[in-house]
Amino acid sequence: MSKIKISDQEFKEMSSDIAEKEHHKDCKFECCGSHEDFVNFTKCPKCGMTEEIQEQHNDEVWEIIDQAEARLLEKYEVTDA
């Protein structure tokens, strides 16, 4: 079976979209993904996220992205175009 050819940009967008959907199924922080660098506060007044929690979340999302990319590579071939 031949794979569907897609650009690197399309591939990254697909894996990011998958990771975001999967992560937000269970995430209890309503502002997740919208915090800046915690310059004006150390804990979000709306959802309670701290910088440490955000770092942990980023690691979790990257893990999901890696898993999504592995699954996508079974169906897609990434091209330079």
- Can you say whether the dihedral through the CA atoms of 26, 60, 54, 17 is positive or negative? negative
- Cβ pair 6, 48 in contact under 8 A: no
Query: Given this model, what pLDDT does residue 37 score?
Result: 67
pLDDT digits (tens, 9 = 90+) for 27-75: 888 888 787 767 778 888 888 999 899 889 889 999 999 999 999 999 9
Length of the chain, please? 81
φ, ψ (nearest 5 deg) of residue 60: -65, -40
Q: What is the pLDDT of residue 78?
A: 95
pLDDT at 64: 94
pLDDT band at 9 (very low <50, low <70, confident <90, very high): very high
